[in-house]
Each structure stands twice: as C-alpha cells, then as structure tokens.
C-alpha cells in the first residue's frame, strides 16, 4: 500500500504533568527548572519535547532512521547525502551547496525526524535548511511553579587517580569513614501542569514527504514520550491523555476542489482551536499538587466549521472522533 503524504492541516495539544522532578533544566541557571522570569510559569522548550519524541520513535520503530541523535556528526551526514545524489565517493570536485535540493530530498526520505521536524543543514557541504511539517511550541505551565534546590548525599567518594589497585586500597584504608561521601544537589519542582501545543502543515508535508504513517507514529510517540525516556530527573513526568487533535477538513461540501484546498491550508486559526481547552485550578485549591486539583473543560459547542476534533486516549488505540469518553478522563464538555 502506498504511504501517502498527509492532505490535511492539523493542530494538536496535550497536558503534561510534572511531580517532584525537573521538567527541563536550564544549564545556564545551574540546571534549575526553566521559568518565565516575569511570571514564574514553568517552561519546557520545543527542543526538549522533540528530543523525547525522537527517542521514542528510535526505540519503537528501529526501521526509522533518526538524524538528530546524541553525538551525531552532522557534517558527515550532509556529506553522505551530497555524495549519494552526486553518485561519487569523495567531494573533491563538488562545490558546496551543489544539488542542494536533491540532497534535502535524500535526507527527508532517509530520516524520519528530518521530514517531520526539518533541520538546519547548512554547515559542512551545506544542504540548506529544511522546514519540517511538524512544529512544536514551547510548553508553559498553567500556574507559576516553585523550585526546590535539595542537597543530597552520595555514599561514595572520589579522590586522586592512581596507577595500581593497591594504591587505591591504601588510600581507602587511611581515609576516615565519615569523609567517604560527597554532597550534591537536585533541582525539582513539586508540581507543574504544562500545555504542549503544535501544528502540522500539509503544504510542508508535500515537500518533505511527511506521510500518514509518519503521522501515526507521531501521535503514538507524543503519548509515550516520557514512558521510555527514563531518568531520575524525569521520573515524575507523565502525559495526561487524551491527546487532542484538530483536523481541518474543509467547509465547501459542494465544491470538492475548494474543500481540499481548505483542508490543506486550514479552516480556523490555531489560537482559536487551542482556546477550546480551558484549564485552571479549582477555587478551593491554593497549591495544586495533582491533576485533580484542576478543572479542565473542552468547549465542544464552539468547534468551528470545517474542523473535526479527535481524542487519542491510548498509544496503540485509534483516534476517537467524538467527545464520548472525555468525562471518564477528568474533562468536562461544555
């Protein structure tokens, strides 16, 4: 079966819960959880979200190549693409930027994350810049977060480096037991509820080859992105299902060509669609510490014409194009 590129524009959003963990540390701030400097709201960068999506796709779908992996030499990957489209084994006689469009197409075809998110590939042999079909915004918390800097104890120690095990053992025997430990820090937020938002362009999907099959992998990866990226700092991270999907389908039922055009370009502004979800803490809650401390409402009565709304509750189940099960997941339908 031919895997077709997507023909519809999409917006999507999902809630992410953080409990006594570090959603996204800032290395310039001693790895403190990122915050808006003015309001105190927590931030998870788009880069951090895409990193976890990539990690899941790489683990769950081994046949899918991922370009942006840890330690990747991008110039080598770009050179490989340029060699492939020029059908050569070295680049001595190839000018930088030569057959740039062909190189981009080669990268899109080979790498899932390139045709999904795009990439800046203008270094080295210069494959230019690819605009991906999928764009993710920085996630922000519903309320300001607090940050705790905890001192922790490591019941081990490090000291001088030696050449023999006997030297290590001799030092160990001479060292007082009370000093055989070191101190460290953990930066966490007790709780934060974040809203992740994104858009998918059918027009850019045509250029990169982002397909219906790629889209299915993306939906699964979003729901799973914290379940398979385990670390001490992220153990308290979880996606609150469902993933909400806005699919543009067009309004011109009597004009098929125009309906196809509308579905591709979008029938409503993204912010109007994102505004259909209302999240705020309950009146009797001062310091939210769990999802149940929030009132979450979906304004089904305000869905604009030409847009269908789907809800994906579980990673391996189909999208449900109705609001029947929202109440069972703590959402109100208004």
Task: Write out pLDDT tens, residues 9-56.
Answer: 999 999 999 999 999 999 999 899 999 999 999 999 999 999 999 999
Residue 280 forms beta bridges with which residues?
A: 295
Which tokens belong to 234?
A: 């992220």
- What per-residue confidence (pLDDT) applies to 231? 78
**Domain locations along the chain:** 10-58+133-145+188-333, 149-185
Within the chain, residue ranges assigned H as helices are 46-60, 74-86, 100-110, 112-117, 165-174, 202-208, 212-224, 256-265, 270-274
Locus of tokens 């039922």: 253
List all residues 6 or more positions away from 198 whose beta carbon is below 8 Å from its beta carbon. Answer: 11, 12, 13, 134, 135, 136, 137
Pairing of strands 128-131, 277-281: unpaired
* Residue pair 68/116 in contact by the 8 Å Cβ criterion: no
Q: How confident is the model at residue 1 (pLDDT cuts 50, 70, 90)?
A: very low
136: nearest Cα among 212, 65, 222: 222
Is 179 buried (19+), middle (13-18) or exposed (0-12) by CB count in 10 A? exposed
Q: Give me the numbers of helices (H) and strands (E) for the chain, helices first please.
A: 9, 15
3-state helix, strand, coil in the chain (%, to 5): 30, 30, 40
Dihedral angle, C-alpha 158, 163, 166, 172, nearest 10 °: -10
Whether the predicted pLDDT of 180 surpasses 90: no
- pLDDT, tens digit, 9 for 90 and up, residues 82-97: 999 999 999 888 888 8
Q: Which long-range contacts (CB under 8 A, 24 or more apart) does 49-52 make?
A: 49/136, 49/139, 49/196, 49/225, 50/113, 50/117, 50/136, 52/225, 52/226, 52/229
Higher pLDDT, 3 or 63: 63
pTM score of the predicted model: 0.92
Distance from C-alpha of 171 to C-alpha of 162, rounded to nearest angstrom: 10
Q: Does residue 208 have a pLDDT over 90?
A: yes
Spatial CA neighbour of 111 closest among 139, 130, 138:
130
């Amino acid at each position: 079966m031919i895997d077709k590129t997507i023909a519809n524009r999409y917006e999507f959003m999902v809630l992410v819960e953080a409990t006594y963990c570090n959603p996204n540390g800032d290395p310039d701030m001693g790895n403190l959880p990122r915050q808006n400097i003015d309001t105190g709201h927590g931030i998870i960068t788009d880069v951090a979200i895409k990193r976890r999506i990539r990690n899941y796709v790489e683990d769950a779908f081994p046949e899918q190549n991922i370009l942006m992996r840890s330690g990747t030499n991008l110039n080598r990957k770009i050179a490989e693409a340029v060699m492939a489209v020029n059908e050569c084994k070295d680049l001595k006689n190839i000018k930088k930027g030569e057959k740039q469009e062909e190189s981009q197409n080669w990268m899109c075809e080979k790498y899932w994350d390139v045709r999904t998110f795009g990439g800046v590939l203008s270094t080295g042999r210069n494959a230019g810049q690819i605009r991906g079909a999928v764009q993710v915004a920085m996630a922000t918390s519903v309320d300001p977060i607090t940050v705790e800097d905890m001192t922790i104890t490591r019941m081990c120690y490090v000291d001088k480096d030696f050449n023999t095990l006997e030297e290590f053992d001799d030092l160990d025997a001479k060292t007082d037991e009370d000093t055989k430990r070191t101190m460290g820090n953990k930066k966490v937020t007790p709780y934060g509820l974040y809203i992740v938002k994104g858009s998918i362009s059918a027009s850019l999907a045509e250029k990169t080859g982002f397909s219906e099959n790629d889209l299915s992998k993306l939906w699964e990866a979003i729901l799973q992105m914290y379940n398979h990226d385990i670390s001490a700092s992220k153990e308290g991270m979880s996606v609150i299902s469902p993933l909400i999907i806005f699919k543009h389908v067009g309004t011109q039922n009597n004009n098929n060509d125009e309906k196809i055009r509308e579905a591709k370009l979008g029938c409503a502004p993204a912010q109007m669609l994102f505004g259909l979800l209302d999240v705020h803490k309950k009146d009797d809650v001062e310091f939210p510490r769990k999802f149940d401390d929030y009132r979450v409402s979906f304004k089904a009565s305000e869905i604009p014409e030409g847009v269908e709304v789907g809800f994906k509750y579980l990673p391996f189940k189909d999208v449900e194009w109705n609001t029947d099960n929202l109440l069972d997941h703590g959402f109100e339908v208004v």
